């Protein structure tokens, strides 16, 4: 009789162990799935800079976390305008928001007609002026075009 009780206890312990392992694996799987969804949600939202000219506007689409604006060929958004410095301004995405920073430009960077002296949060429909070049900012519209970077 004690042999059969011992066998039953072994089976109960085995089932309990497998149930615990199954629960642990299910919990880990759910946690990893939730983490991957959070990482996917933290991706950089695309940003569009619409260069305003007398003839209309030219959109430039970006999906990187940092965008340099200037005359220098290494800049992501290169502007051939003498009022724009070689490295004029930097757009960067961090802390869940897009920011603009003036890079000690000669003619200044202005956001909605206010000078930018420290990094400032930008939003859609903001007007950004680098020297005499004016951009309208749109955040979140994912477009593909030949001006995409």
- Quick: pLDDT tens for 46-85: 999 999 888 888 899 998 889 999 999 999 999 999 999 9
Predicted pLDDT at 145: 44
More confident residue, 66 or 144: 66
Q: Identify the H or E element spanning 67.
A: strand 66-70
Predicted pLDDT at 144: 47
Greatest alpha-carbon pair distance for the chain in Å reads 98
Q: Alpha helix locations (H) across the chain?
A: 2-41
Predicted pLDDT at 95: 85
Nearest to 67 by CA among 141, 127, 132, 137: 137
Predicted pLDDT at 121: 96
Residues 80-97 have a mean pLDDT of 92
| CA distance readout (Å), 61 to 34, 53, 146 | 30, 17, 9
One CATH from 2.40.50.100, 3.40.640.10, 2.60.200.20, 2.40.50.840 for 47-139: 2.60.200.20
């Amino acid at each position: 009789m004690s042999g059969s009780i011992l066998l039953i206890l072994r089976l109960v312990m085995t089932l309990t162990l497998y149930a615990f392992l199954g629960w642990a694996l299910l919990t880990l799987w759910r946690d990893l799935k939730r983490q991957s969804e959070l990482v996917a949600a933290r991706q950089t939202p695309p940003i569009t800079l619409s260069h305003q000219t007398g003839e209309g506007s030219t959109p430039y689409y970006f999906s990187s976390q940092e965008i340099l604006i200037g005359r220098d060929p290494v800049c992501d958004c290169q502007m051939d305008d003498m009022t724009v410095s070689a490295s004029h301004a930097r757009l960067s995405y961090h802390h869940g928001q897009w920011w603009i920073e003036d890079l000690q430009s000669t003619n200044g960077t202005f956001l909605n007609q206010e000078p930018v002296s420290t990094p400032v949060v930008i939003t859609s429909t903001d007007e950004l002026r680098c020297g005499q070049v004016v951009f309208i900012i749109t955040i979140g519209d994912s477009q593909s075009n030949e001006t995409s970077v």
